[in-house]
Structure formats: C-alpha cells, structure tokens
Amino acid sequence: MRIVDIREIAVPLNSSLRNSVYDFSEMTTSVVAVRTDVIRNGAPVIGYSFNSTGRYACGAQMRDRLIPRIFAAPPESLLTEDGSNLDPEKILARMMMREKPGGHSERSVPIGTIEVAIWDAVAKIHDEPLHSVLAKKYSAGRVLEQVPCYVGGGWYAPGKGIADLEAEIRMRLEEGYTTMKIKVGGAPLADDLGRIEAAIAVLGGGQQLAVDANAGFTPERAVEYAKALAPYGLRWFEEPTDPADFALMAQLTSFYPGAIGTAENLFSTQDIKNLLQFGGLRPGTDIIQIDVPQSYGIVQFSRTLDMLQRMGWSRQSIFPHGGNLMTLSLVAGFGLGGCEAYPGVFGVFAGFADDSKVVDGILTLSDRPGIGFEGQNKLYEVMKSMF
C-alpha cells in the first residue's frame, strides 16, 4: 500500500465579498488530491481536500518540499503498525522534517491541507465516512449525528440596507437555519447596532445572532463595541481583537458577559494555548474556532483538543472555521459544538453535499466514504479533473 501521486492546483474563489477588513477579490485556494494504489469500489482511492478559506493557495510549499519529503520516505514507513492503512501522524512528522520551530502559517496551511486529503483517503480505504473513522479513533466511537449548523452572512455591500439584511435573514430561516452570524465593524457603531436590532427581531432573539468583526477593530473600538453589544445577549462576538492581541482579549473578557469567539487566525497548538492562558477566555462561555486544514490538520487538532481538555475546555466549545464538508466531518467525528455554513459564497468551495439538508438548524450527515466531496458536484468536478 502506498501513495502513488499527490497533485495540487490553485483555484480562484471569484468572490466579490468583503468584510470590515478585506475583500476576497484575489483569493485563491489550493485543492489537493492524493492518489493511492488501493482499489475500493472498483477504482483507485483518491483523497481530496482544499485549504479552507481566507488564506491564499500554497502549492509552492507543497511542490518544493512537502510532497518530495513524503515520496522520499520508504512507503511502509508511512503506514499504520499493521500496514493496513496510511498513518496521517507519520506523514505529518515526515512533512515537518527540516522545519524551523515557530512561524507557522507558511507551512501549517499546506501541511494541514495535504494531511486532511490523506485522512479522506484513509477513510475511503476503510470504506467509511471520515466522521466514523474519527469517532472511532478520537471519540470512543460516538458520532455526533445531530450537527448544529449556523449560517454566516450579513456582509457589507454598496447600497445594502436594513431591509436587504432582513430579507437575507428571512431567506436563511426559510432554508432551515435558526442561528445566523453577520459582519460588524464595516459601518459606524450606531448603524451596526441598527443592523443587529433588526437581525434579532427577525431571528427571534439575541441567542440566535452572532456577530463577526474579523479582527478589524482598533483596541478602542473593540472596547466600545463590546460595551455596546453586551446588552443584546448575542450568541457570540467574533474576532473583536487582532488574533494575537491576548492582552486586549483579556480586557474584553473581563467585562463582556457573553461569549467571545476567536482562533481562526491562530495556526498552532501553542498559539491557542497562549490565547487561553493570557487572553482570559472562559471555558463554558467562549468559543474556539480553529481552522483545521490551515493548522497542520487533524492529528495536530487532536493534540490541541487534548491541551484544551487539560485546561478545562469541553469539545462543545469548539466551532471549527470553514463552512465545508471537512468541518462537518470534524464536528461529527469529534463531537464538537457545531458547524458554520456559507451557502453560495466562496465559489465552489462553499457548502456541503448537494443532497444535504438543514432542518431546525441541524445539518444532515451523509454515508459517503471519506469526507464525501463526491456528493458536492461542482467542487468534485474540480477535484476529479486533477487525475
């Protein structure tokens, strides 16, 4: 058993979205395909992934050093003890050869993306959904069958007013979502509060609304917003600070009563640990939003979860970043708090299987082997074209 080929392509998102800090007009993502010599259901097993959203394609690092390191290893050294499958932990260690400590994002994104594609192949070799494989390995076999899923939106757009926001939210409620996250910080505070009050009125309560500042505030504005948002009892307030401004985070958590969400822009276990130690995040209250394919992948995520558990955190406080099938597999397989959805944005990379449904805010799982990209037709068209 061995990996026969690993390919990657960079695909533009072709998104016209913008939040309070940046737009996605140049954004690309790397799609990875890992072909093995294993035959399942009459075809060679190929694992797929992409590097989530918000970080640019990273194929050069893959081509120049990560993929060559994998192929320079004896194939049997990358297998499980009994030789029955690929071992993602060994492949991760192999990719980390000759890497200097610290400075993560340059390699954590390409390594994590390859690693998640390896897991897709691993699950397909088991002929099981990835969430089942992960549950057996990391969660005593318990799959979270009812995955809570909220929907992201409420982007800023020229001419978009309160009525448009209300219509957007109503559409999402009709689609089956019950909780929504909207952007803040791209308008003056008073305007944002108007948007928030309108959104709460449509959604039916502050606990149905989260807001996302995308790390775009000055410290002063972060404090100002936290004070102004406190009375609304929101589900959470996301990225009020620079991702690594732990001192400011500690200031906010000292007085903001509700949940704060962050961590999609921290890429190592150590950085997350610093966030908890120095940022004053509160187990049982705050929300951690690691992006797994951007943070060295699933094996490293399991280590981060171990660290979180030792620090008193429950898996229900983890809402992984990225509204896609990789995230859904992780939430169901590890029993995490829930999943985000970004239907219709980020091009072919947004969303779940074409036959997936959201009912009362709960997203359906599929039985497809692996991550299940084969059920997401437009994305799978891109993936299968790679071989």
> Is 183 part of the annotated catalytic residue set?
yes
Q: Does 322 bind a second copy (CB under 8 A)?
A: no
Closest to a second copy by CB, 291 vs 374, is 291
The site map against a second copy for 139-168 (x = CB under 8 A) is ------------------------------
| Catalytic residue of the set 100, 273, 321, 357 | 321
Q: Does 23 bind a second copy (CB under 8 A)?
A: yes
Closest to a second copy by CB, 5 vs 99, is 99
Selected from 237, 267, 301, 346, the binder of a second copy by CB under 8 A is: 267
Whole-number Å distance between alpha carbons of 252 and 57: 33
Closest to a second copy by CB, 61 vs 139, is 61
Q: What is the 3-state secondary structure (H, E, C) of the chain?
A: CCEEEEEEEEEECCCCCECCCCECCCCEEEEEEEEEEEEECCEEEEEEEECCCCCCCCHHHHHHHHHHHHHCCCHHHHECCCCCCECHHHHHHHHCCCCCCCCCHHHHHHHHHHHHHHHHHHHHHHCCEHHHHHHHHHCCCCCCCCEEEEEEECCCCCCCCHHHHHHHHHHHHHHCCCCEEEECCCCCHHHHHHHHHHHHHHHCCHHHEEEECCCCCCHHHHHHHHHHHHHHCCCEEECCCCCCCHHHHHHHHHHCCCCEEECCCCCCHHHHHHHHHHHCCCCCCCEECCCCCCCCCHHHHHHHHHHHHHCCCCHHHECCCCCEHHHHHHHHHHCCCCEEECCCCCHHHCECCCCCCEECCEECCCCCCECCHHHCHHHHHHHHCCC
Selected from 277, 314, 377, 385, the binder of a second copy by CB under 8 A is: 277
| Catalytic residue of the set 131, 183, 273, 378 | 183
Selected from 80, 94, 105, 176, the binder of a second copy by CB under 8 A is: 105
Q: Does 13 bind a second copy (CB under 8 A)?
A: no
CB of 89 to a second copy, least distance (A): 19
By CB under 8 A, what part of segment 205-244 binds a second copy? 214-216, 239, 242-244
Q: Does 54 bind a second copy (CB under 8 A)?
A: yes
Selected from 33, 47, 86, 104, the binder of a second copy by CB under 8 A is: 104
With contacts defined by CB under 8 A, how many residues of the chain interact with a second copy?
51
Selected from 85, 208, 253, 268, the binder of a second copy by CB under 8 A is: 268
Q: Does 271 bind a second copy (CB under 8 A)?
A: yes
Closest to a second copy by CB, 23 vs 145, is 23
Residues lying near a second copy in the complex (CB under 8 A): 10, 21-28, 54-61, 64-65, 97-106, 109, 214-216, 239, 242-247, 265-268, 270-271, 273-274, 277-278, 294
List residues with catalytic annotation.
183, 321
